[in-house]
């Protein structure tokens, strides 16, 4: 009887575990099925390289190059903010902070990670954008720079907590050995700890990038939304995610516009998919390096 | 066997119950411009018609009309007339779409209150929004970069503005796109060089409304048809409305309903 019960439990949890695989495959099938029809109308090269995104006009233009560039620059800008902030604070928390500081900092960063993205959006729109506008005498505060800054702050906790995990996996014997041969704290940090946790920190950065490039609500509110190739840091931009969010509501089902938005989603999916694979490869290598691979 | 029969009976009665309760349910879906009118009207209507269950959703004019064609809503709100392509689709679905004008809306062109400009001609506005003019000095203002603020392409206001003000030409690609009337108004409020457009109901003292083609935007001017950026708002039904749907649309058109239209900042029909 007990055996049957166990079998049933095993079966139930097995189904639950495979459910995510099922969802992933389902999402991929839907994305491909809904995205591919657009390429009968526009060639892949024109879709990716076209400079004009005018999906609702007649004749429509489906060029997502400005959107890709917008996502790319916003993501890069966010990285410039969240990598130093996230990795720096992870290093401090793990290596230098006193127990009391750690007890305050860690939960604070975790709470920051739990703040809904729309709140960051509000913060960016109502505080950051007007502030930057006045500070730099910009014609408009809703721009690439504000979006990067807001997203950077938002991705910091992701980077910080994963990097901190990586640092904490570095065995204490590494530190003790380093101190034993007479290395200073700084030398230990830069020559031993960071190289040992390096791939874990890279994973943190890549996952932060996934978060930044996939974020929708914040960029919709803060980036300005102009589908134009940005010429400066202070131009309004329209990242891929915000184009989908803003336009899906009105795109008639089955229309070219609808398929084009799915094609953007497919490209986004492929980008984050590649990011995640890279992160996985690096973290696997990291485990092997530290002798943790099983 | 008995058990299966039992389950089937329960299922059948649940489905039966669901269809019965569905009969008194009206789904109103579509334009976010019409949404506040429909929402408030539904609340007041349900106070007197306790048998009615009206659920009101936004989504945009296109969504409203396509839901009406799919049969997932009984009233499709729209801030633009139905398109020929949608009528063609209705015909293939064997549906006969009826239009009901329920209010008028006016689009006001707004600038930052610090802007010295107070009026624009049709050509000037078109040049600004299509990208021919990029500096305020070219339209008689103090020199400074023009920041055009537009609604996103999913908005009925965007479509109406494109037709009424731009004659179908494309909005400049560097225009800042905002997701709601309120967002346009607050962006213009905070940005000295900005120009945008919002529904008349979203005008406030924090931004400056411009005279367009010699006419100050106002409810009277929209109703008289003199103000060029005015448009009717629609509720579409599949065939002549019947039962509760008819009662609801009649209510919106009644003096009481039109009072709601007025309160929500739109232009009542009478």
Please identify which residue in the block is written with the tokens 């206001």: B157
Do A167 and A212 fall within a single domain? yes
With a pLDDT cut of 70, the percent of chain B lying above it is: 90
Q: What pLDDT, in 10s, does the model give residues B130-166?
A: 999 999 999 988 898 999 999 887 677 887 888 889 9
Q: Average pLDDT of chain B?
A: 86
* Distance to chain A for B44, nearest Cα, Å: 28
Q: What is the pLDDT of residue B4?
A: 59
Which residues in chain B have their CB less than 8 angstroms from residue A225's CB?
152, 176-178
Least confident of A1-5, A165-169, A227-231, B39-43: A1-5
Nearest-neighbour CA in chain A from B132: distance (Å): 16
Instruction: Dig out the tokens for A217 from the structure.
Output: 């609500």
Question: Between these two residues, B4 and B157, which has the higher pLDDT value?
Answer: B157
CB count within 10 Å of CB B126 equals 16
* Residue B197 to residue B109: CA distance in whole angstroms: 4
Determine whether the interchain pair B62/A52 forms a contact, defined as Cβ–Cβ distance below 8 Å.
no
Domain check: are A179 and A36 in the same one? no
Residues 48-77 of A with CB under 8 A from B: 52-57, 66
> What is the rounded average pLDDT of the residues A267-284?
88
- What percentage of chain B has pLDDT greater than the value 90? 44
Residue B245 has pLDDT above 90, yes or no: yes
| Residue pair A174/A193 in contact by the 8 Å Cβ criterion | yes
Which domain covers residue A35, as residue numbers?
Answer: 1-40
Q: Which whole number is the average pLDDT over A184-200?
A: 87
Facing residue for B153 by CB, picked from A52, A129, A247: A247
**How many Cβ pairs closer than 8 A exist between chain A and B?**
77
Common-topology check for domains B2-103+232-263 and B105-224: yes
Q: Are residues A61 and A186 in the same domain?
A: yes
Give the closest of A53, A57, A236 to B176, CB-based: A236
Q: Which residues pair with B230 in a beta bridge?
A: B106
Tell me which of B60 and B207 has the higher pLDDT: B207
The rounded distance, in Å, linking the Cα atoms of A70 and A154 is 18
Identify the pLDDT of residue A145. Answer: 93
Q: DSSP string spanning chain A?
A: -HHHHHHHHHHHHHHHHHHHHHHHHHHHHHHHHHHTTHHHHS-HHHHHH-S-EETTSSS-EE--HHHHHHHHHHHHHHHHHHHHHHHHHHHIIIII--HHHHHHHHHHHHHHHHS-HHHHHHHIIIIIHHHHHHHHT-S-S-SHHHHHHHHHHHHHHHHHHHHHHHHHHS-HHHHHHHHHTT--HHHIIIIIIHHHHHHHHHHHHHHHHHHHHH--HHHHHHSB---S--SSTTS-B--HHHHHHHHTTTSPTTSHHHHHHHHHHHHHHHHHHHHHHHHHHHHHHHHHHTT---
CATH of domain B105-224: 3.40.190.10
pLDDT for residue A92 is more than 50: yes
Nearest residue on chain A to B62, alpha-carbon basis? A250
Return the CATH class of domain B2-103+232-263.
alpha beta
Return the structure tokens found at A115.
Answer: 């703040």
pLDDT value of residue B17: 47
Q: Which pLDDT belongs to residue A249?
A: 72
Asked which of A167-171, A250-254, B199-203 is least confident by mean pLDDT, the reply is A250-254
Average pLDDT, chain A: 89
**Reported confidence tier of residue A157, pLDDT bands at 50, 70, 90:** very high
Q: Looking at the partner chain, which of A130, A139, A228 has a beta carbon nearest the beta carbon of B147?
A: A139
- Assign residue A111 the CATH number of its domain: 1.10.3720.10
Q: Decide if A90 is inside a domain.
A: yes
State whether A45 and A8 are in the same domain: no
Distance from the B134 Cα atom to the nearest Cα atom in chain A, whole angstroms: 12
Same domain, residue pair A30 and A106: no
Is it the case that residue B214 has pLDDT exceeding 60? yes
User: Are A193 and A51 part of one and the same domain?
Assistant: yes
Inter-chain touch A139–B193, beta carbons under 8 Å: yes
Does residue A107 have a pLDDT over 70?
Answer: yes
Query: Which pLDDT score is estimated for B22?
Result: 45
In three-state secondary structure terms, B15 is helix
Q: Where are the domains of chain B?
A: 2-103+232-263, 105-224
Distance CA B137, CA B219 (A): 31
Give the pLDDT mean for B176-193.
Answer: 88
Domain count, chain A: 2
Residue A10 shares a structural domain with residue A108: no
Average the pLDDT over A188-193 and give the result: 88
Q: Are A25 and A53 found together in one domain?
A: no
- Any domain includes A83: yes
Mean pLDDT of the region B25-29: 90
Which of chain B's residues have a Cβ under 8 Å away from the Cβ of A66? Answer: 173
Indicate whether A292 pLDDT > 60: no
Q: Does B187 touch chain A (CB under 8 A)?
A: yes
pLDDT at B10: 53
B15-54 in b/e form (b: 16+ CB < 10 A) is eeeeeeeeeeebbbbbbbbbbbbbbbbbeebeeeeeebbb
- Long-range pairs for B245-251: beta carbons < 8 A, 24 or more residues apart: B245/B26, B245/B74, B245/B75, B247/B45, B247/B49, B247/B52, B248/B26, B248/B28, B248/B41, B248/B42, B248/B45, B248/B52, B248/B54, B248/B75, B249/B75, B249/B100, B249/B102, B251/B41, B251/B44, B251/B45
Adjacent-strand bridge partners of B53: B25
What mean pLDDT comes out for the span A129-140? Answer: 88
Instruction: Please check whether residues A127 and A5 belong to one and the same domain.
Output: no
pLDDT in tens, B56-99: 987 778 889 989 998 899 999 998 889 888 899 899 988 899 99
Structural domain includes residue A261: yes
> Would the pTM count as exceeding 0.80?
no
Using the Cβ of B179 and the Cβ atoms of chain A, whether some distance falls under 8 Å is answered with yes
In this structure, the answer to whether residues A95 and A213 fall within a common structural domain is: yes
CB contact under 8 A, A246 and B154: yes
* Chain A contact set for B170 (CB, 8 A): 54, 57
Q: Clarify whether residues A30 and A47 are in a common domain.
A: no
Sign of torsion, CA B118 B123 B126 B131?
Answer: negative
Joined tokens for residue B163: 């037709």
**Within this chain, do residues A26 and A124 fall inside the same structural domain, yes or no?**
no
Q: Do A247 and B152 touch (CB under 8 A)?
A: yes
Which residues face B106 on adjacent strands?
A: B230
Q: How far apart are CA B66 and CA A218, in angstroms?
A: 29
Q: Does B145 touch chain A (CB under 8 A)?
A: yes
Predicted ipTM? 0.74
Q: Does A294 reside within a domain?
A: no
Average pLDDT over residues A175-182: 92
Report in angstroms the alpha-carbon separations of A9 from A4, A6, A19, A37, B55. Answer: 9, 5, 15, 43, 42
């Amino acid at each position: 009887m007990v055996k049957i019960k166990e079998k049933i439990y095993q079966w139930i949890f097995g189904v639950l575990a495979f459910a995510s695989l099922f969802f992933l495959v389902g999402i991929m099938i839907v994305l491909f099925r809904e995205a591919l029809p657009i390429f009968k109308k526009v060639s892949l090269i024109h879709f990716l390289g076209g400079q004009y995104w005018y999906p609702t006009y007649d004749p429509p233009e489906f060029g997502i190059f400005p959107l890709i560039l917008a996502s790319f620059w916003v993501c890069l800008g966010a990285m410039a903010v969240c990598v130093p902030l996230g990795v720096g604070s992870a290093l401090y928390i793990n290596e230098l902070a006193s127990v009391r500081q750690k007890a305050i900092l860690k939960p604070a960063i975790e709470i920051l990670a739990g703040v809904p993205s729309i709140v960051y959006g509000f913060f960016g729109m109502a505080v950051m954008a007007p502030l930057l506008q006045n500070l730099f005498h910009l014609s408009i505060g809703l721009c690439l720079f504000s979006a990067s800054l807001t997203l950077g702050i938002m991705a910091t906790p992701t980077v910080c907590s994963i990097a901190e995990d990586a640092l904490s996996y570095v065995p204490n014997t590494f530190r003790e050995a380093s101190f034993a041969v007479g290395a200073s704290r700084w030398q230990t940090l830069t020559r031993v700890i960071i190289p040992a946790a390096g791939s874990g920190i890279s994973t943190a950065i890549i996952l932060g990038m996934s978060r930044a490039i996939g974020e929708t609500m914040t960029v919709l509110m803060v980036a300005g939304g102009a589908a134009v190739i940005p010429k400066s840091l202070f131009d309004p931009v329209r990242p891929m995610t915000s184009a989908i969010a803003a336009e899906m509501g009105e795109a008639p089902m089955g229309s070219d516009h609808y398929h084009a938005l799915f094609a953007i989603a497919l490209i986004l999916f492929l980008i984050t998919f590649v990011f995640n694979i890279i992160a996985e490869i690096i973290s696997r290598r990291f485990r092997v390096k530290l002798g943790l691979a099983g | 066997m008995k058990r299966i029969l039992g389950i089937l009976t329960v299922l059948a009665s649940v489905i039966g119950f669901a269809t019965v309760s569905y009969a008194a349910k009206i789904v109103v879906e579509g334009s976010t411009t019409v949404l506040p009118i429909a929402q408030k009207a539904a609340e007041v209507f349900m106070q007197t018609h306790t048998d009615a269950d009206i659920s009101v959703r936004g989504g945009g004019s296109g969504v409203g009309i396509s839901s009406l064609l799919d049969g997932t809503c009984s009233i499709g709100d729209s801030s633009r007339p139905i398109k020929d392509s949608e009528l063609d689709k209705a015909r293939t679905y064997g549906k006969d779409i009826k239009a009901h004008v329920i209010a008028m809306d006016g689009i006001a062109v707004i600038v930052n209150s610090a802007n010295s400009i107070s009026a624009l001609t049709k050509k000037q506005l078109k040049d600004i929004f299509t990208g021919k003019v990029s500096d305020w000095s070219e339209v008689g203002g103090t020199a400074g970069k023009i920041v055009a603020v537009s609604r996103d392409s999913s908005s009925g206001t965007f479509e109406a503005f494109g037709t009424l003000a731009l004659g179908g030409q494309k909005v400049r690609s560097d225009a800042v796109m905002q997701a709601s009337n309120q967002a346009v108004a607050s962006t213009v409020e905070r940005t000295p060089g900005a120009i945008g457009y919002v529904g008349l109901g979203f005008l406030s003292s924090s931004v400056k409304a411009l005279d367009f083609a010699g006419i100050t935007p106002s409810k009277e001017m929209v109703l008289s048809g003199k103000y060029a950026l005015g448009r009717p708002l629609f509720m579409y039904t599949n065939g002549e409305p019947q039962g509760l749907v008819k009662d609801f649309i009649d209510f919106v058109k009644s003096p009481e309903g039109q009072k709601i239209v007025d309160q929500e900042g739109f232009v009542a029909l009478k």
